[in-house]
């Protein structure tokens, strides 16, 4: 309804009854938002827009990103059953629209966090063209967990874990200095995995995890091209049986099945899709100012329904360049 209908040449505001006037004004207010462009919430970072952010996705990190024990749903051949479903491969299957997803995550990251971290960052910076966004959900995990400290020396105390974390953050700084948006995960409490996949010696003290996350949050908050992926909170909610928001849907084990494997450390196929969904949400929020996953204008990089992603995998997974 426009103003020409509320106030005609023959009838002014004074001629309208009070109730009719209120109804007319309300109708105008309701009509205006539908006709106006909707803001995403904040301005996007300079040089970053919805059309280019997800054009070339690069995934780096450790065994969770490398697809440890994650297999293709409905795999029929022995080769397909043995082939790990890396986060990059799942991302390629879940991809919506044009673009590519490549990966360089390693299941052996824990053997040498500094060396492997530098190699992965060297590789992505050497790409031509370079990635438009880098996802590093578990990149920092072994910079606090594990038994390998700075300089590949054995960890003898909790201070060494924090010193190693500082080196991991310096390595990731190179991504931001190159102008590439980066999504990085903080540290979850994976003590439930001790005696299963983790040894007691690899497990940091609870206070160390808390201090490490404080440092990661402070580091990310001062870097506009770094988005924080809150793995700590997601894992805590998951273990408590609470539903959580990741991307454009709510996740819960009762509906989606197990999101963490029996080793209490690595994500399942469904958990990997949830990880991608939450990384997408974190990137859109930080880099594009999209506070809500379904905000008009917010890009949709990945399919967030695990069943639909699994069907895409069964139809035929697109090979991922740079990922064995």
Q: pLDDT (tens digit, 9 = 90+) per residue, 127-176?
A: 999 999 999 999 999 999 999 999 999 999 999 999 999 999 999 999 99
* Digit-coded pLDDT (tens) for 233-265: 999 998 888 898 899 999 988 889 999 999 999
* Digit-coded pLDDT (tens) for 265-304: 999 999 999 999 999 999 999 999 987 887 777 889 999 9
Measured between alpha carbons, how far is 168 from 151 in angstroms, rounded to an integer?
A: 12
Residue 47 lies in a domain: no
Strand order in the sheet with 182-185: 100-103, 56-59, 133-136, 182-185, 226-229
Both 137 and 13 in one domain: the answer is no
Residue 42 lies in a domain: no
Residue 45 lies in a domain: no
C-alpha to C-alpha distances, 144 to 66, 157, 266, nearest whole angstrom: 19, 11, 17
Which secondary structure element, helix H or strand E, spans residue 23, and what is its range?
Answer: helix 18-35
Q: Which residue has the tokens 């300079």?
A: 46
* Cα 267 → chain centroid: 13
Residue 140 lies in a domain: yes
The tokens describing 234, both together, are: 């997601």
The tokens describing 190, both together, are: 């994976």
Residue 27 predicted with pLDDT over 80: no
Measured between alpha carbons, how far is 280 from 83 in angstroms, rounded to an integer?
A: 25
The tokens describing 58, both together, are: 């690069």
**Tally of domains within the chain:** 2
Angle between helices 158-177 and 206-221 (to 10 degrees): 20
We report the CATH number of the domain holding residue 125 as 3.40.50.1110
Residue 40 lies in a domain: no
pLDDT reported for residue 46: 83
Measured between alpha carbons, how far is 286 from 6 in angstroms, rounded to an integer?
A: 42
Residue 203 lies in a domain: yes
Both 93 and 15 in one domain: the answer is no
| Owning domain of residue 288 | 56-316
pLDDT reported for residue 76: 64
Q: Which residue has the tokens 């970072």?
A: 45
Find the distance separating the first CA and the last CA of the chain, reported in whole Å: 59
State pTM to two decimals. Answer: 0.84
Both 16 and 104 in one domain: the answer is no
pLDDT reported for residue 322: 41
Highest mean pLDDT among 5-14, 33-42, 234-243: 234-243
Which of 145, 71, 87 has its CA nearest to residue 275? 87
Residue range 109-115: mean pLDDT, rounded: 97
Both 29 and 79 in one domain: the answer is no
Both 76 and 12 in one domain: the answer is no
Lowest-confidence region among 8-12, 114-118, 234-238, 255-259: 8-12
C-alpha to C-alpha distances, 222 to 215, 225, 227, nearest whole angstrom: 11, 9, 10
Residue range 74-91: mean pLDDT, rounded: 79
- For 236, the 3-state DSSP assignment is helix
Verify cis geometry, omega within 30 degrees of 0, for the bond prior to 83: no
pLDDT reported for residue 29: 33
Residue 74 predicted with pLDDT over 80: no
């Amino acid at each position: 309804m426009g103003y020409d209908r509320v106030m005609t040449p023959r009838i002014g505001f004074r001629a309208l009854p009070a109730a009719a006037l209120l109804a007319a004004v309300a109708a105008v207010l309701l009509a205006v938002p539908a006709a106006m462009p909707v803001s995403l919430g904040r301005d996007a970072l300079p040089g970053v827009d919805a059309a280019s952010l997800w054009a070339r996705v690069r995934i780096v990190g450790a065994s969770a990103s490398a697809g440890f024990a994650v297999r293709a749903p409905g795999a029929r051949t022995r080769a397909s059953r043995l082939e790990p479903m890396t986060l990059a491969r799942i991302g390629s299957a879940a991809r919506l629209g044009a673009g590519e997803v490549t990966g360089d995550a390693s299941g052996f990251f824990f053997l040498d966090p500094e060396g492997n971290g530098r190699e992965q960052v060297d590789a992505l910076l050497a790409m031509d063209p370079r990635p438009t966004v880098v996802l590093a959900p578990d990149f920092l995990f072994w910079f606090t967990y594990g038994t390998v400290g700075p300089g590949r020396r054995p960890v003898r105390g909790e201070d060494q874990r924090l010193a190693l974390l500082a080196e991991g953050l310096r390595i990731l700084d190179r991504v931001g200095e190159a102008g590439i948006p980066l999504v990085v995960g903080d540290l979850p409490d994976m003590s439930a995995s001790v005696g299963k996949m983790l040894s007691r010696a690899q497990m940091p003290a609870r206070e160390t995890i808390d201090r490490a996350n404080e440092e990661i949050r402070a580091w990310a908050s001062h870097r506009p091209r770094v988005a924080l992926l809150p793995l700590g909170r997601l894992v805590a909610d998951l273990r408590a049986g609470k539903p959580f928001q990741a991307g454009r849907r709510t996740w819960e084990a009762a509906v989606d099945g197990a999101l963490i494997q029996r080793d209490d450390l690595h994500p399942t196929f469904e958990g990997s899709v949830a990880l991608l969904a939450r990384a997408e949400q974190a990137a859109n929020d930080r880099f594009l100012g999209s506070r809500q996953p379904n905000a008009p204008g917010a890009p949709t990089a990945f399919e967030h329904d695990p069943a639909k992603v699994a069907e895409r995998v069964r139809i035929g997974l697109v090979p991922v360049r740079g990922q064995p």
